[in-house]
Amino acid sequence: MYPSRFGYESPKTVEEAVALLDAHGGEAKVLAGGQSLVPMLRLRFAAPEMLVDINGIDGLRYHRVDADGTIRIGALCRHEDLEEDDAVAKAVPTIAAAAPLVADPIVRTRGTFVGSVCHADPQGDWAATMTALGGHIVAQGPKGKRDIPIAEFVIGPFQNTLAFNEIAVEAVIPAPKGVRIGNYLKLERRVGDFATASVAVALDMVGDTVADAGIALAGVGGRTINANEAASALIGKKLTAENIASVAAAVAAVAEPRTDHRGSADYKRQIVKTFVERILTGLLNTSQKAA
């Protein structure tokens, strides 16, 4: 199928891009890596009258770790930029673990972290990772910038809370309270596939005590599943076999899997439980060895 007819603009500044979105009153779409939007155009799931291509805007392809440990990821930071960066890997192990599991190497050269979070695919790896890590999206519109906490940003399947005339210019992950550890496990039918079920875990540790905890899931619901409330049972405690088992059961209970060609709902819920246990037990064993 061919896309419907659309116009194309390649602005040179964020302000110009915002003005274009504003002028088209909801009928324009931002084009970042195009790895989700172009397939949607071809399938006519999206039919905007205008594409606003932000790839010609200088200064949006960056990611950095600030002195206090805050991570900043610009709108044009590609998946592969995160995969290849040792500083990010050290600062946020959950990102390091997820990066090589997003799609395939070709998609990873073009697709962007921020675009993926904006796309809010229930099976998307970055929306789940960022939900576990917390933080916010910096949105820029005609009246300037505002911060949108990630829990208020990804609100449904393919739905975020940007206004039609706003661009997500940056994703910000807060500095850790202590030492940040974490992991990401994904079950996929074959390499490069979307998640059958995946689990993102991020813990901030002070000594052997959990100071903050986040868990989120992809592929097991009609939206990214925020399991941070279940994870919060770990806060103020040491990791033990008992609390790992009870958090794994609580996280599996908030999953909303459906039976489909990837597996039954029960199977996917069991995968979630097993992955949470496997990740937390691995983190416990690693921290015991380091002590």
Ligand X SMILES: Cc1cc2nc3c(=O)[nH]c(=O)nc-3n(C[C@H](O)[C@H](O)[C@H](O)COP(=O)(O)OP(=O)(O)OC[C@H]3O[C@@H](n4cnc5c(N)ncnc54)[C@H](O)[C@@H]3O)c2cc1C
CA distances from 228 to 112, 232, 254, 258, 286 (A): 25, 6, 10, 21, 22
What token pair was written down for 197?
């079920």
Candidate list 114, 187, 205, 225; residue touching ligand X; CB under 6 A: 114
Q: Does 153 bind ligand X (CB under 6 A)?
A: no
Torsions phi, psi of 238, nearest 5? -85, 155
Query: Closer CB to ligand X, residue 61 or residue 237?
Result: 61
Candidate list 77, 82, 118, 252; residue touching ligand X; CB under 6 A: 118
Using CB under 6 A, count the residues that bind ligand X.
30
Q: Does 185 bind ligand X (CB under 6 A)?
A: no
Q: Contacts with ligand X in 235-274 (CB under 6 A)?
A: none
Q: Look at the block and give the residue holding tokens 């540790």.
A: 205
Nearest to 49 by CA among 16, 9, 1, 12: 9
The span of 62-70, 119-127, 144-152, 207-215 binding ligand X (CB under 6 A) equals 119-127
* Amino acid identity for residue 54 in this structure: I
CA distance 78 to 91: 18
Q: Does 219 bind ligand X (CB under 6 A)?
A: no
Q: Does 199 bind ligand X (CB under 6 A)?
A: no
Candidate list 36, 94, 129, 224; residue touching ligand X; CB under 6 A: 36
Q: Does 77 bind ligand X (CB under 6 A)?
A: no
Q: Does 115 bind ligand X (CB under 6 A)?
A: yes
Question: What element of type H or E holds 186?
Answer: strand 179-187
Q: Does 35 bind ligand X (CB under 6 A)?
A: yes
